[in-house]
Structure 1
Amino acid sequence: MEKRLAGGAPTLLFMHIPIYVPSLLGDVMKNWSAPIMMAAEGWDPELQAKWNVADATPATRAFYDLLMANPHGNVMGVCSAGTFISPTRTRSAGVRANMSRRPASQADTGSFASFRCAEARGDSVMSLLYQIGQRPIIAALRSVDRLDGALESGADHLFFMGGSVNELVPAVRAAKEQGKGAFVHIDLVRGLSSTDKESIDFIRGFVGADGIVTPKSHLIKEAKRAGLYAILHLFALDSLALDNGRKLAQSARPDAVELMPGVIPKAIAALADALPDIPVIASGLIQTQQEAAAALNAGATSLSVSEPSLWGLSFEDLRQS
């Protein structure tokens, strides 16, 4: 595990027995009358004998301490026994629980918080999070003229943000042939209706994209119905727009939220705080490595970037910025 984390890649663990965090203790004791969690406190000799449990071994304790310390900041969470446990990060506004890749601020059990998997995170959200969380940069294409550069870059996913529907079809298929994820900004592609659900079926059945990006909540629902990933596009014009966007996201429950512009850490952090179980993709005006790092540090899960020089950046590159 130490070797894996030292590699810098975002890591999501799936375990049978949950690790010990204080927020789980009440439910566990209520259901089992024993603290059956990895490295849990509260065992007495009578309970240990009843459950045939020994004291935590040095290896178990070392593993637990490694997760709690999160030294490389890339433990994204632990899903175990129906519960999602996610790192938190202390800021002046308080403690938030999200998918932050930064090191936990406290190397103790208070640095993790738990959520019910079935209630807080749908399968599609977890799947999309796994996909976009592998690398920090999503290549944003306003024209298919840059498609070749995006396909040759280190970016795993492409956002198609312009062009015509005739250009879109072969471009998406080229991306899929090279194993890239393809997402369509349905409102920005000429020839696609941004109001009709038939456009969703067309993207799913004929274009073959993985998902859509749209500011329209009814299309979020239609995309989910069609089996597409649904990303809600928000523009933070001011604090009112940001608050309205938060409410819309909480109501529509998209698989992710794309927030523009992506160079306002305060706005990114506010949205990530408000939507702890929905990945936030920062987008727009990110032109330098330092701006990209700032967006991730604020709480973005990944970044949609049109600047080709940033497409190949890794988390390690940005961590050193």
Structure 2
Amino acid sequence: MLAQTKRSLIEVLSRNKVIPVVENRTQFLTALTMLTPYVLFLRNCDLFDLKALCQQAAQQGYLLYVNADRMNGIHPDAAGLHYLAEQLHVAGVASTNLKTLTLASTLGLSTMLHIFAADSTGLESAIEMGNVTAVDLFNVSPALVVPFIAETLTTLLTRPFIASGLISTRRQIQAVVQTGALGVVVPQPELW
């Protein structure tokens, strides 16, 4: 099932490069009514409050990804990650913590390492901080820097990547995607 989830994410991103990120019930409902089966990122959410919506989204074919570092109500330990997979039907988790991603991977969840590209040293140290074999995809932030560091990214990253942060226009999305990002995470419904 994990291989199917990974293929599905890459397949979805090959058709639509925009990845909506939702932070509350209103945004979640908007995404469910606006989009065809798709991928959604949940960030800063009270997941117990959103349980029914997560189940509905999974039944409709959405791939749900949760930011494990910013979940309200669930700790990113074995029990919490198991709950995400079995009860909320998430496809994967994003985190800056390789231990969390390694554990998530053993539970069959797809994993995404969030990297903050504040400078070249920070980017290199994020990649070199440990064994990234449990990482399926990288998420580089802020997305606006991706066109300027594309060559460095293709040299350093051993997996495909998406980008997130500071995007506010379709032109910016296109510029990031043209540099090799599989997709761009955006919170504004008008850009979905």
TM-score over 0.5 for the alignment?
A: yes
How many residues align? The count is 188
Q: 1:207 to 1:136 in 2, by over 3 A?
A: same
Match of 1:215 in 2: 96
Secondary structure of the residue that 1:203 maps to in structure 2? helix
Give the Cα separation in 2 of the matches to 1:217 and 1:126: 22
How is 1:1-321 mapped onto 2 (pairs within 5 angstroms)? 125-154=6-35, 156-194=38-76, 196-248=77-129, 251-264=132-145, 265-275=147-157, 277-311=158-192
Secondary structure of the residue that 1:171 maps to in structure 2? helix
- 2:153 counterpart letter in structure 1: L
Secondary structure of the residue that 1:237 maps to in structure 2? coil
Consecutive unaligned residues of structure 2, counting only runs of 5 or more, are: none
CA contact (8 A) 2:105 2:134 kept: no
Post-superposition shift, 1:200? 1.1
- 1:173 counterpart letter in structure 2: Q
CA RMSD of aligned residues (A): 2.1
CA deviations 1:55-111 (Å, max 9, x no partner) are xxxxxxxxxxxxxxxxxxxxxxxxxxxxxxxxxxxxxxxxxxxxxxxxxxxxxxxxx
Give the Cα separation in 2 of the matches to 1:308 and 1:300: 20
CA deviations 1:166-222 (Å, max 9, x no partner) are 12322211211322111111111211213x222111111111111111111011111
Structure 1 consecutive aligned stretches of length 4 or more whose deviation exceeds 6 Å: none
Q: Percent identity?
A: 24
- 1:208 counterpart letter in structure 2: H
Give the Cα separation in 2 of the matches to 1:129 and 1:201: 23
Greater C-alpha radius of gyration: 1
RCO higher in 1 or 2 (8 Å CA, sep ≥ 6)? 2
CA contact (8 A) 2:5 2:91 kept: no
Consecutive unaligned residues of structure 1, counting only runs of 5 or more, are: 1-121, 312-321
CA deviations 1:249-300 (Å, max 9, x no partner) are 763441111111111122344223322x512111011110110011001211
TM-score normalised according to structure 2 size: 0.88
Secondary structure of the residue that 1:254 maps to in structure 2? coil
